[in-house]
Structure formats: structure tokens, C-alpha cells
Structure 1
Amino acid sequence: MNPHKSVMFNYLSSHKSTPPRSGDQKTRKTPIGTSSNTKRSANLPRHGFHTSSKHSTRTSQRKATIHEIPDEVLLKIFSFFGAQDLILVSQVCQRWRNLANDNSLWKPIFLKYAPKSEAEASGAGNVTSVSQLKTTCIRRCVEQRNKRVFRYLRKKSPYTGITQQRDVEKALIDSCVFWQLAFVDASDNEVCVQSRDLSVHTMAASVRWYDFSAQSLQNTKAIRIYSCNPIFFDTKKGCAVKDSPYQRSLLKTFPLKWSSWVSTNKPVGENDTINIYSLQRGLAIAVWKDGGEVAFICVGFNLHHLVDRCLRGNSVAPFSPPLPPVVTDDIDSAFGLHGYNCTVQLRTMKQQIWDQQFRGLNCHSNKGGGYAQFVLIEPHERQIINKEIVFPWKTEAFKGKVQNACWLDITVIDETGDVFWTVSSLVSSKAARQAGVNTLDFEYCDDESRSINFVDEVGKFHMEFSKTDDQDIYITQALLGLTLKAINTRFRSSYR
């Protein structure tokens, strides 16, 4: 080693620093000594040089996360998102929520979907809160949607006394409503299934779900039905924006203890593959005989206030329409017992079987068992049913028919013109002898006499029909009963 290299080697060796201890963020110089130099000389680089730690770069062992991205970068990324994605990322954490709600991101969305005038559009940036524009935008879009939709619902049907079928159908199509069924378990977790299979009839609408994948009801404590209402609309195309955020409105909740319920209730219809059960308030559930999983579910809604319940509710509680004012009359001793109009329809999910309206119904003295009885059809006023009473069904892979079952719709209007009672439910026709009905008319075949019955807390309905030797089906009797309790509540009466 020449003198120059020897001097350089000794100098660098004397100025080397030891690696920092674990957790020590500072470098410290190694004391000059022969033993230290001897030990470290073996670790020197090949050319005899060693870089001082004062100028070395240490690599951090901790991995960077997405939460360390600066706010400016996140805002730039979020600026490429639509309303649906902004609402989605706002659920990640509080920091992302604050950024995703920023007015700078919602201003272009507001200008595109929400302003009513040029003045409002130009003043979109003049807001005081950092996240005010999002709330204003969503509220404004909902108001515009509802104003556009409710213009269809200004007239009542002169036939049924409720909103007309075609108007409700237009409103639901224009609002792009779709339907969601939720299975709720014991922990209140929801498994949701969507459907757009809606059929609107004279007095009611029916929604059907039939694309289940081995869904069992054993661990289900409740079933909830929601309407899903898009918020943002393309006014030029007249439809909801693709992947638009939507509001959920709770329509009905059905508490369910399936095992105990099935053990105490018989199906309203069955065939070789399914059993159909009719539950309270218009819910029908079909299960496979082999395995017991859900085959399809149907639910019926009367058209009265249906659009209000869809668009004005929330995900926690159903919308409650205002009750009609209580009516009193000190002169009429039978006030509340006359002047009713009743419309009855038997149908499938898609087609009408039979429809009839009964006007000016009176109950003079036929009060018993807590009901006011109204005669709709007497035996000598028989009416023919031109179609077979049958309930077609389908799933994604199968379809079939259930005999002696159909959907029953009823609307009762009182003498003030307000809705008194509505029904939309799956019913079965039972053999008349099982129902305690005696058919003595010699024109009919006793073995072919059947009856339909429905009852709830407001009223009851009974219908009898029979087949002739020519296989024609005639309705031989129809009765309507309204509870005296409901009549007393409506008219402040005291009937017993």
C-alpha cells in the first residue's frame, strides 16, 4: 500500500460511524480506537471506501397506506367521480366523507341536475357551508322528481273512487321506481333482492320476486319491502341517470317465525312442486316441496296513496297518509251504515278473472257478531265467471299453475267519498261443504260448489260460486262485512 492510500484508509477508518441502535433516530460517531478500526476494516467496501451515514439515505420499513394521500390528490381523484361514487366513498371514513362532500365536487352535479333557473345556477357557489351544496342538490332533485310525477295523480277514477290505474302506472314508470325485498336475520342484517316485475291493475299493483338462490326462511325474523327511488334524472331522455343514487322507502314489514307459522297454517294452493302460503297484508310466499327453499314471493298494494308511500317515505318508517276527517251527523240515526260503494276483482298476477262494482250499499238492521253486513249478490242475482279460477306462477327455471287460487282486490268507499277499506291478497277457493255452505239450487253440481273467504281487522268478504252441468261457473252469493268498531271510529257512532 502506497503512503497516499495508507493515509486515506486511516482517515476514513477514524471517521466511520456505527449504525444507530434500534429505535435511535440519530447517528453517532464511533470513538477512535485500534480495536474498532480492526473489526470494521473487514466490512469495508472492495475499494477501501465507506460512505459516511451523515449522507446516507435510510429506507423506512413501514408501508405507505392510502390514508397518507394528500387531500389535494384525493380531491383530484374524486373530481372524476359521479354522484353515486361520491356517496359511496363518503362511507369509508370521516376524512373521505368531508372531502367527498366538498362543494367543489358537487357544484358541477348541481349545475347539471338541480338548478331551476339561471340565477340559481349562477349562485351555486355562493354557499356558506363546505358541504351545503350536496344537501341542496339532493333535496332539489327530489323536489323536481316529485313535482313531475305527482302531476299525473290529480284525478280519481269515477269507477273505483281511487287514483286511476293508468295514472299510477305512468307515475311509477316516470319515477323509475324499482322494488327491493329484504330478508332480515336475528342480527338485523339484510339480504336484499331487487325486482322490476310490476303489474298494475284496476285497484292494486303486484310485485313479484322469483330469482332466489336457495334462500331459506328458517333464520329470517322479518321480511321488509322497499321501493327504491332514483334521485338524478336525465330530463332530455325522461329517465333516471344510469347508476343514479336512490332513496329507499319502507312500504311494509312482515314479522316472521316461519317454522311455527307453517306448522299452524295450511297453504292456500299447491301442486306437485310448490306450496303457496298467504300471509297478512298481501304477502304470498311459495316454497319448494323438495327442500323448503323460497320459490317466489308476491306482494299486493292498493293503488290508494301508493305513489305517496313510494316517494315520500324513508328507510326506517313507512309514509303515513293523512287520515280522512271524522264525520258526524246528529240527524241521521243510521249514519255510517249506508251509502257505501264496493269494487271487487278476482285476478292473476297479469290478467283479470272477474270484476264487479256494487253501489249504494245499505245495512238497515243486519248487524251481528260485531259486523255490519252488506249483501252484494243474492242467489237469484247470479253472475257468471268467464275464466277459470287459477293462479299461474313462474321462476327463472320453472313455471306452472295452482288450481283454485287467485288474487282478491277490494276497495270500499264510504258515503263521503273517502276510502274506508282496501284489500289486496292471495286467496283460495275451498269446497263449499268444508266452508259450511249449503248449495241447494238444483241447477248446480254440489260437488263443484266452492267459496272464497277473507277477513282482517276492518272487514270480511265471502263469496260462493258453483259450476253447472255445462261447466259454466256462476257466483251465487257475495257478502261484505265491515266491523262496527271501524265504523264507530270513522263516524263517531256507537253501534253494537
Structure 2
Amino acid sequence: MAVSKADFSCVRARGTFKRADKSTQNYMKRLPSEILMKILSYLDASALVCISITNKLFCQLANDNVLWHKIYITELGQNKTWTRDEPVLKMELQDQAAGYMKQMYFKNLLTRNLKRWKRLLGHISCHTGLPSKTEQVLRNLCVTWELTVTDKSGHESTLELSWSQFCKTSLTLCWSGGVSLPHYEQISTLQLHGVRRIALSCPGLKNPGRRSLMAKLDMQPLTKSAQVIGQDRMVQLKLLQPGILIGVWRDQCSVAFILFTLHFHRLVERSIQGSSDSPYVEEIARAPSDDIDPEYGLHGYQLHIALDSSVSELMSGSFPQLFCHGGNISDGLIQLTAVSRTNSSQHMLLSGNITLPWRCEALQGSVENCCIMSLTLLDEFCKPFKYVSSPISMELEGTPVSCGYYDYDGETYLIYFQDSDIQMKMQLIRFRAERQFILVSLNVYVSVCYVNKHFRRNH
């Protein structure tokens, strides 16, 4: 029996499958399964996924292994496993659980072009030491990110991304939940997943994809210890840990939005190569040992640092050949000076005011003296040694700053960041008339223990 595309055009209309009413279902049930399978054999992967949600009958038929084997061979061009005659092939496929070939098809579809994206990630920026095509690769692989929020009663809500913003070395993700987010103090866990979607033409449906766990936070100890880094008339910004920020409505203490900032280092791998319940594990690479150089591990560093407002870049600078003499190690930290307060030729003018804009559904605002910092420290082999992206705050220091041969006329501000292995101090002056900032001092402090572990030294 020959079946043309016109014979089943009534099943698919304008690329969208509609749920069948009872009369249509009864009509379909009276048709022999062979006829239905013949009709479905003309559909592509997108159409089969769409039709599988119409009713139980089509869900069962659209998961048939023989149908998906045909699509598998046609689109992927692989026939290494099954080489028997067609009747034998059908028997072998029928022995598999329903949906087996569908899973095989999507699994192999996700692994296509892996060599290509790995080749693109091989283009390394000489300024940042990071892959220069990270954004392009993530977009080409159809990667998105989901946030799962669990409250203390165990109820889970998986939120779709509200907006995202790529910067030079970091990515900012934001979820605004409205009524779907629990009260701030009722949140139990946060889970961030990278999801690589398969590009199917399924209007109105979420395309199938593979999830990779990137972060899982137990909120119990973080809720009370969170640092308030800024606020405006409507929201208060609470930094849970570096890179993770929650905006809380000031009048209700309910969650307005949740913001993650992700550094570009291994971002593609972290977004797609973990499993749904365990993250991607990066292979730890240590520098080769050197017993000749007594200052090994204390020189040859390169720092790249950027300040962004999540809308525009405020500052971006790369500082090579940073060092610290062994005799200058203090309090278990090595100091790397990128911008010296006394060297006015190193001072940098910022391109805008330091603010962190936010938007949540129909509301929006801007928190003064906050922004997003992305820091990348490379070792002497130009490999990422320490990296972090996080919202930060700026505080009025008030102490007059003497900068070489002259003094700047303005207020002095300090940006300070710290985690377990690194600290950063940035000093800025705000010109009173122009309302602009100039960077006059930038120092990075790295834990000696972290340096010794990486370089196998005993400083």
C-alpha cells in the first residue's frame, strides 16, 4: 500500500501536533497497527517526538525501535551494529526495550561534531589564556542552563533561564521566578545544570537534551552567612559564595532573582560533560618541577581582570610578568602587583559608573557600587593557575591617596575579594566633577600553600 505525504498531512499541521479528540482516537484505534506504522515511517525525528505526546497509542508507536533505526541509519549513516537481513533485523530490534533506538539516536546525535568543538576550543587568547571561541561553541552546541530549586518540604521547581549575558571571560545567568521561587529562608538546595539541547523542530515542546550537573549548594549553612553586597529601593543583594548571588525583595524577603556568574575556564566541558547527578571532573595538571631556580613558582605570572556591569564592560586589562621575591612573602601569601599606586603610567580609566543592573519580569533597577569581576591568573607556562568570576562590591575608603608626583582630587574606593586561595585588592578614585573612576592600585595575593602544591615547592 503506497502512502503519500498527503495521506498523513492531517496528523501534522503547521509543524505542531494537536491532542486528538475522542472521535479521532477511536478512529485511530480501529486502524490496523501496520497502517499506522507505515504512516509514521514517513516522519522525521522531530515529527515523531511531537506526535508521541498526543496520546498513549502514538506514544507507544512513536517509540518503535524499527522506526528509530531507520532514522538512525538515514541521518547518522552508521550501520555497524546491525548487518543482518531486514526480517532478522526487526526481530533483533523488537527484543530491545521500547525506545532503545530512540535513545541511541539522541546519544549519538549529541556526540557528533565533538572533534570540531574541541578544535575550536584550541584557539587560545594570548591575553586571557582562555579559549577565545567559548561563546561560539556553547551556542553551536545549543547549550542552555537550568536551575532546580528545592524547598525544605522537598518540593522541586526547575526554572528556565530568564536571561544570560556573555562577557569577555565570563557568563552571567539569571533566573527570576515570581511565585515559583520559595521564600529565601525556605530554600533547601540549589542545583545548576548545563543542558545540551538537540535542535529539533518541535514548536511548543522542550527539545530533548542531556543534563550536566555544574553546582549543588546546600543552602542551610549559606542562608545566614550570606554577605549583603548592595541594595537599592527594591532589592537586597546577598552573595552566598563567589559567583552565586540572590536578589531578595526588601519588603517581603522573598526571592526576586538568582544570579550565577561562570568563568570561561572549562565552561564548555562543565556544561556538557558531567552527568545529571555528578559534575565534570577536571584533570589536575601541575607544573613541572624545577630544582635549579630558587624562585621557581614566584615569577612569570600573567593576570587578566575585567569588571562588567552585566550589560557593558567597565574595564579589561592584562598584566604580564608579575612576580614576588621570596623574601617578600608575608602571612602565607605571595603578593603580585599589577598596578602600582606610585606609577601613574599604569593607572587606568574605567569606561562607566560601577553599577549592577537587574531585571525581574516587569521590574528593573540598578544597585550602585556593585559589578561583576572576572579574574584569571596564568602561571609562567601561560596555563590558568587560578580563576574566579563573581559579583563584588565597592566601599568608600576615605583615605587620601598619594600617587607619585601628584594627588588625585576625589574619593577613594576599595574593591576587595577573597576566597580560600586568592585575594584581590583594587583601589579606585572617583573624580568628583566627571563622576568617573580611575584604577590606581591592583594587587593579587595567592596562598603559598596553593603555589607550593602547583609547583611542588616548599617556599
Q: Please state which band the TM-score falls in when normalised by the shorter chain.
A: 0.7 to 0.9
Structure with the larger RCO, 1 or 2 (CA within 8 Å, 6+ apart): 2
Q: 1:223 to 1:89 in 2, by over 3 A?
A: farther
DSSP-derived class of the 2:228 partner: coil
Contact kept, 8 Å, 1:231 with 1:240, in 2: the verdict is no
Aligned residue number for residue 423 of structure 1: 388
| Superposition map of 1:100-111 within 5 A | 102-111=64-73
Contact kept, 8 Å, 1:206 with 1:300, in 2: the verdict is yes
| Superposition map of 1:379-458 within 5 A | 379-381=341-343, 382-433=347-398, 439-440=401-402, 443-445=407-409, 448-458=411-421
Q: 1:105 to 1:454 in 2, by over 3 A?
A: same
Displacement of 1:265: 4.2
Distance 1:360 1:124 in 2: 67
DSSP-derived class of the 1:279 partner: strand
Distance 2:287 2:105 in 1: 40
* Cα deviation code 1:273-316 (max 9, x no counterpart): 11011221301110101111111221111111111111211111
DSSP-derived class of the 2:258 partner: strand
Displacement of 1:390: 1.0
Select 1:114's aligned residue among 69, 76, 97: 76
Distance 2:189 2:300 in 1: 39
Distance 2:186 2:51 in 1: 35
Contact kept, 8 Å, 1:445 with 1:469, in 2: the verdict is yes
Distance 1:328 1:89 in 2: 63
Distance 2:155 2:413 in 1: 43
Superposition RMSD on alpha carbons, in Å?
3.5
* Cα deviation code 1:445-465 (max 9, x no counterpart): 56x211001111221100111
DSSP-derived class of the 1:336 partner: coil
Distance 2:290 2:421 in 1: 22
Displacement of 1:112: 4.8
Contact kept, 8 Å, 2:308 with 2:371, in 1: the verdict is yes
Q: Which amino acid aligns with 2:377?
A: V
Aligned: 1:137 with 2:105:
yes
Aligned residue number for residue 197 of structure 1: 163
Displacement of 1:148: 4.5
DSSP-derived class of the 1:315 partner: coil
Percentage of matched positions with identical amino acids:
23
Contact kept, 8 Å, 1:309 with 1:319, in 2: the verdict is yes
Select 1:371's aligned residue among 322, 333, 358: 333
Q: Which amino acid aligns with 1:418?
A: K
Aligned: 1:350 with 2:275:
no
Contact kept, 8 Å, 1:390 with 1:405, in 2: the verdict is yes
DSSP-derived class of the 1:267 partner: strand
Further displaced range: 136-145 or 395-404: 136-145
Contact kept, 8 Å, 2:52 with 2:60, in 1: the verdict is no
Aligned residue number for residue 445 of structure 2: 481
Which of 1 and 2 has greater Rg? 1
Distance 1:111 1:211 in 2: 42
Contact kept, 8 Å, 2:396 with 2:412, in 1: the verdict is yes
Q: Which amino acid aligns with 1:415?
A: E
Q: 1:243 to 1:148 in 2, by over 3 A?
A: farther
Aligned residue number for residue 491 of structure 1: 455
Superposition TM-score, scaled by structure 1 size: 0.74
Displacement of 1:105: 3.5
Aligned residue number for residue 129 of structure 2: 161
Q: Which amino acid aligns with 1:107?
A: H
Distance 2:75 2:249 in 1: 46
Aligned: 1:206 with 2:172:
yes
Displacement of 1:384: 2.0
Displacement of 1:317: 0.8
Segments of structure 1 that go 5 or more residues without pairing to the other structure are 1-65
* Cα deviation code 1:373-418 (max 9, x no counterpart): 1111111233222311111111111111111000000001101221
| Superposition map of 1:265-276 within 5 A | 265-276=226-237
Displacement of 1:73: 5.5
Contact kept, 8 Å, 1:199 with 1:349, in 2: the verdict is yes
Aligned residue number for residue 26 of structure 1: none
DSSP-derived class of the 1:169 partner: helix
Select 1:247's aligned residue among 198, 210, 217: 210
Distance 1:488 1:427 in 2: 28
Q: 1:191 to 1:243 in 2, by over 3 A?
A: closer
Segments of structure 2 that go 5 or more residues without pairing to the other structure are 1-25
Q: 1:389 to 1:475 in 2, by over 3 A?
A: same
Aligned: 1:256 with 2:232:
no
Distance 1:253 1:75 in 2: 49
> How many residues get paired?
411
Superposition TM-score, scaled by structure 2 size: 0.79
Aligned residue number for residue 149 of structure 2: 183
Contact kept, 8 Å, 1:206 with 1:299, in 2: the verdict is yes
Q: 1:463 to 1:76 in 2, by over 3 A?
A: same
Aligned residue number for residue 467 of structure 1: 430
Contact kept, 8 Å, 2:184 with 2:248, in 1: the verdict is no
Displacement of 1:102: 4.1
* Cα deviation code 1:401-445 (max 9, x no counterpart): 111000000001101221111110000001115xxx663567345
